[in-house]
Structure 1
């Protein structure tokens, strides 16, 4: 098959952007796994407390990142329309940083009430107290993480996505060292236990932010945007633009993250074994999802470039390349889940241990449905990213709420509790919800010209 020069260039551009972003996402997951690995050695209670705290913290920060997360789309459109567009890109990014600080303060307020939230959901009082103590320290990393998210979009939009990979790569050993020193008191450091893990996470977030600032200051292309000069000068129209496209993104994130969080509660009501198997299978699916998620981030930027330039053909190419690459990977990961489920489970659990046989059997059944996740979730991640490149976020938000909750969660309850499928029924409900959202988003993408999202 012969590809046109324009299509080959689009494939190279997508791989150039998506590759480092995918690796950075995988390293970010490894960062969280490092924390859990150290905390698990403290015992089951600290591990349970940390798991609850991290779940609340991660969803809160991830959702609020949507408010400032459209910096990449708006900056890319400005560059596509006017070349470097130094002044506009600078203003967009600065106001994104302003929103990141405001979002971080809101995240801190939510996490400060973490113990109360745990008690309201019926958690054990002792576990809730430990979780609240952990969150009381972790909340200080919210602002650095959200600022880093904006700077990651800035460097990626300006052709330096490898900086995101380098920051994540350097953060991993730093976080591990911090945990080693402060959790167990190695090399004369105080043994702070669970609090030590939280302090290590905060320190890693601050150092990661410092690395981004240093990289921007020392890169000749990025330095000319003078990003941190006159930082306190407001640009209210840019803030309103970011809020207009970013708020629906935040709500969409809450809808998807809340769906999987609620699914865990459904599994817990079915049985502890089902919940454990659900956690294992979802961990594997989440790891695989980092690839289409990174491709979706790249699609947002590349579609944004063409959108700003008024290049309808380029918009179509960027979206098509992202979708095809995502589905190629999804087919591979789905085939692995179906053909060798024990292989993918082995890093998480000893599949050869007879005592684990019931858990492994359930996890394998969920992975078979998870294979469908890969195709549907991968497609919706990239199409969602492409539509965000067109600054189209409100209707996709409505699709997400309706598809995930009215259809997906409704079917999960119906199939999980009113049929013999039980946990597998919950997963089928989730998969159908994801598929419906993916199809709706794809139809909207294909009708983008007719809907007036871009000129013909």
Structure 2
């Protein structure tokens, strides 16, 4: 016996009659995810804005701490995101969907909490890790104190990530935007109160910012728990019924699909971290120009990333339903939407680079005279970069929809690190291109990954990727 209703759940969306219906369904699902992704970038920027006023040492400590924290937190969220294609396929199959969805959600949370405990152990040794990486001892000590507090937000952060994924898969993606907006508000308020000691609160400085992050992520998790209790559609799944009961076969399925996703995200994140290190070996001006150009590209990337998240669910529904025509239509629509947007953003970057750069720095200030032309060079490469970055993001998303994650992980390892980093290092230090060569290397890596992923998607029938593999 199991808690809750046993009647089959309907599809999260009705089967589309054609590409236009699919485009409408995909856009409806992707829009709040894109908006939430953009808000999440604002949440991450809040700590930098507040801590930056404390001083260079504190900013450096927070930057190092947040980099390590985010790298590991999003790796675990990537691991648990395997719940999305599983839930979508279960809804597409219709049979016993309520029970099967509950199993996936429960085991995603189990796996996420278990992985979070390992991450917390790593973060507790943050100062030692930074010292081993030959960082300044004062920066390492400050980052260590920062991480000693911040590590307590790992579990609520992962649970919020799981519940956001589940809500989207169950047709309630719209909740992502207000919940992330709540997190942004909590982060601003808690930083204002605790970093500088406003409204009678103690002035805690760097540690106050860490507490603010704990408050923000805990607030996100609590908001999602409340939503799952009051939303009529979500409530009928009774997702927290018998939460203590293990389902080891489903846990293994989540790990099997999720570990490659986690490693793919780590490979990509580490590539851009490695590119920043290469820039630092060239010069400070190059690092500043790189940061500006990369932030502009990262904002644009949130659109295909949100489309990819939605595509995993739409393709997963079709995959579970065993409808090959729908699988093809869902994938084709997602790829067209994601790549099409990036084409528009590429043209905009090519035509008006100074306009985008002016959002980050004063392009007419004398102190930025060397930074602006470099950033414009990097954005010229980023215009090409945009198309292939969107293609690889959505390509990975549609393949996840048919539960194909292991080979895409190997593609990412080869493309990002053999081609991408190798080309960046060779052009950056073996030619006069310098920083522009590093950006060409990044674009080359993304191009290889996008071509291989799109080929794999086009060959899905020959490769046998459409055989259901649900537990």
The TM-score bracket by the shorter chain reads over 0.9
Matching residue within 232, 242, 245 for 1:220: 232
* Secondary structure of 1:184 counterpart: coil
Distance in 1 separating the partners of 2:184 and 2:161: 17
User: Is 1:418 aligned to 2:417, yes or no?
Assistant: no
Of residues 238, 246, 262, the one that matches 2:250 is 238
CA gap of 1:189–1:12, structure 2 versus 1, over 3 A, is same
Asked if 1:130 is matched to 2:142, the reply is yes
For 1:123 and 1:434, how far apart are their aligned partners in 2? Answer: 30
Say if 1:264 and 1:252 are closer, same or farther in 2 by CA, change over 3 A.
same
Corresponding residue of 2:278: 266
Match 2:71 to one of 59, 62, 80: 59
- 1:249 paired to 2:224: no
- Maintained 8 Å contact 1:103/1:143: no
Q: Which residue of 1 aligns with 2:121?
A: 109
Q: Report the CA distance between 1:42 and its aligned residue.
A: 0.6
User: 1:141 is matched with which residue: 120, 132, 153?
Assistant: 153
Of 366, 382, 388, the match for 2:394: 382
Instruction: Pick which of 72-81 and 4-13 moved more.
Output: 4-13
Q: Is the 8 A contact 1:76 1:301 kept in 2?
A: yes
Contact 1:65–1:103 (Cα < 8 Å) also in 2: no
Q: Distance in 1 between matches of 2:162 and 2:222?
A: 13
Matches within 5 A, 1:262-341: 262-341=274-353
Give how far 1:455 is off.
5.6
Selected match of 1:35 from 34, 39, 47:
47
Distance 1:220 1:83 in 2: 21
Aligned pair 1:357/2:369, yes or no? yes
**Structure 2 residue aligned with 1:75:** 87
Measure, in 2, the Cα distance between the counterparts of 1:42 and 1:30. Answer: 19
Structure number with the higher helix fraction is: 1
Alpha-carbon distance between aligned partners in 2 of 1:297 and 1:79, rounded to the nearest angstrom? 17
Q: What is the alpha-carbon distance in structure 2 between the residues aligned to residue 11 and residue 340 of structure 1?
A: 30
How far apart in 2 are the matches of 1:455 and 1:257? Answer: 31
Asked if 1:91 is matched to 2:103, the reply is yes
Which ranges of structure 2 fall in alignment gaps of 5 or more residues? Answer: 1-15
User: 1:170-249 to 2 correspondence within 5 Å?
Assistant: 170-249=182-261
Aligned residues: 453
Cα deviation, residue 83, structure 1: 5.7
Separation in 2, partners of 1:142, 1:167: 17
Q: What do residues 118-172 of structure 1 show as CA deviations (whole Å, max 9, x unaligned)?
A: 1111111001100111111111111111111110111101110011111001211
In the alignment, is residue 163 of structure 1 matched against residue 175 of structure 2? yes
Give the deviation of 1:66 after TM superposition: 2.0
Write the distance in 2 (CA, Å) between the matches of 1:422 and 1:319. 38
The two structures have a TM-score, normalised by structure 1, of 0.98
Q: CA deviation at 1:84?
A: 6.9
Measure how far apart 1:328 and its partner are: 1.6
Q: SS of the residue aligned with 2:243?
A: coil
> What SS class does the counterpart of residue 453 from structure 1 fall into?
coil
Q: Name segments (4+ residues, structure 1) moved above 3 Å.
A: none
- Paired with 2:332 and 2:125, the residues of 1 have a C-alpha distance of 44
Match of 1:391 among 381, 403, 406: 403
Deviation string 1:192-244 (CA, Å, 9 cap, x unpaired) is 00110110110111111000000010011111111112110000000000011
Q: 2:460 & 2:324 partners in 1: Cα distance?
A: 10
| Structure 1 residue 451 corresponds to structure 2 residue 463 | yes
CA offset digits 1:400-432 (Å, max 9, x no partner): 001111111111110000000000001101100
TM-score, normalising length: structure 2: 0.95
Report whether the alignment pairs 1:366 with 2:378: yes
Q: What is the CA distance between 1:312 and its match in structure 2?
A: 0.6
**In structure 2, C-alpha distance between the alignment counterparts of 1:283 and 1:133, rounded to whole Å:** 27
The CA distance in 1 between the partners of 2:216 and 2:467, in whole Å, is: 45
Structure 2: distance between partners of 1:259 and 1:11: 32
Alpha carbon RMSD of aligned pairs, Å? 1.2
The farther-off stretch of 292-301 and 97-106 is 97-106
CA distance in 2, matches of 1:211, 1:83: 30
